[in-house]
Amino acid sequence: MTVANGDMKHLTPRETWDYLQARPEALFLDVRMEIEYLYVGHPPGVVHVPWYEYPEMHADAARFVQQVRREGGREDRPVVLLCRSGKRTVEAGLALEAAGFGEVVNVLHGFEGELDEHFQRGRLNGWRHDGLPWEQL
């Protein structure tokens, strides 16, 4: 289900997969910390640009936008953002929109999904839960 929040698009993992197939020019970014990206897993071909990193654990929006541009991000190129559960990507997406990026997509539920009643991820929703391609070290 697509939810409107400003100009940012919010797509489920399956909707995102279809979007990426239809828009091969899109820049697909994983904004999690390096340890999450490497050891929890990630979609094949995704570009890793962390929103924040350990040990600082706070975002520097200007640095993030600069890194996205270094990876080929442009105002006229769609950017798709993935994190653990779909929260960091909203902040990162707002930073990109503020920097002039025209088409920003947030992957709802992220890679691991929302917490269930036992405080565990991966059982309700998310990229892996939905059976989409992924790999890990």
Residue-level pLDDT at 122: 82
Residue-level pLDDT at 6: 52
Residue-level pLDDT at 3: 42
**Element (H or E) spanning 50, and its range?**
none
Residue-level pLDDT at 109: 95
C-alpha closest to that of 124 among 86, 82, 80, 81:
86
Alpha carbons 72 and 109: distance in angstroms, whole number: 25
Task: Read off the pLDDT of residues 4-35 as tens digits, 9 standing for 90 and up.
Answer: 445 999 999 999 999 999 999 999 999 999 99
Ranges of residues in the chain with a pLDDT under 70 are 1-6
Residue-level pLDDT at 137: 80
Q: Is 74 helix (H, G, I), strand (E, B) or coil?
A: coil
Domains of the chain: 11-107 (3.40.250.10)
Sheet holding 9-11, edge to edge: 9-11, 104-107, 79-82, 27-30, 47-48
Residue-level pLDDT at 53: 93
Residue-level pLDDT at 118: 86
Can you read off the two tokens belonging to residue 131? Answer: 């059976």
Alpha carbons 53 and 9: distance in angstroms, whole number: 25
Alpha carbons 94 and 11: distance in angstroms, whole number: 16
